[in-house]
């Protein structure tokens, strides 16, 4: 039987052995340091009990006016950008409130009379006012960013 020289075997496997030893020692050191310095879970209380309170709500008022006793078909956006359509006697008004940072206010109105007007007020300030005259008058008010 022929003997395999130890030097020849050692030449072939010394690099993988050193690599295994280095990785083992590195893993042990990292795990020990992690236990010492990073023992707190930074996200342990994430999302629990945190309440964001909006302190400046926006109040929008839509007004539609015209000759008393006439009716109007009104379409308007609410703060969530949903369209609402109503047919009501004039004058008409609705107050909407939101805590969204930006709101687009849009209102369109048509009457069976000969004059109509609309107004959009945001936080007590008139931002848009329009009026129209004529048969079946129609008008709109648009505030791009309230």
Q: When comparing pLDDT for 47 and 11, which is higher?
A: 11
Looking at the structure, tell me whether residues 34 and 70 fall in a common domain: no
Looking at the structure, tell me whether residues 33 and 62 fall in a common domain: no
Q: Residue 42 has what pLDDT? A: 63
Number of folded domains in the chain?
2
* Residues 116-140: tens digit of each pLDDT: 999 999 999 999 999 999 998 999 9
Q: When comparing pLDDT for 99 and 2, which is higher?
A: 99
Check pLDDT > 70 for residue 94.
yes
Q: Which residue has the tokens 């996200």?
A: 43
Looking at the structure, tell me whether residues 66 and 124 fall in a common domain: yes
Looking at the structure, tell me whether residues 64 and 12 fall in a common domain: no
Spatial distance between the Cα atoms of 122 and 127, rounded to a whole number of angstroms? 7
User: Which 3 state secondary structure label does DSSP give 9?
Assistant: helix
Q: Is residue 30 part of a domain?
A: yes
Domain containing residue 16:
1-38
């Amino acid at each position: 039987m022929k003997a395999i020289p130890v030097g020849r075997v050692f030449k072939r496997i010394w690099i993988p052995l050193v690599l295994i030893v280095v990785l083992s020692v590195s893993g042990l050191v990292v795990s020990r340091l992690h236990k010492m310095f990073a023992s707190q879970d930074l996200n342990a209380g994430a999302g629990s009990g945190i309440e964001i309170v909006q302190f400046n709500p926006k109040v929008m008022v839509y007004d539609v006016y015209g000759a008393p006793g006439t009716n109007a078909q009104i379409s308007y956006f609410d703060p969530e950008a949903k369209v609402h359509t109503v047919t009501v006697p004039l004058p008409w008004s609705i107050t909407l409130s939101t805590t969204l940072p930006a709101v687009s206010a849009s209102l369109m109105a048509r009457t069976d009379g000969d004059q109509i007007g609309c107004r959009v007020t945001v936080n007590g300030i008139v931002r848009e006012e329009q009026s129209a005259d004529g048969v079946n008058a129609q008008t709109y008010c648009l505030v791009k960013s309230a």
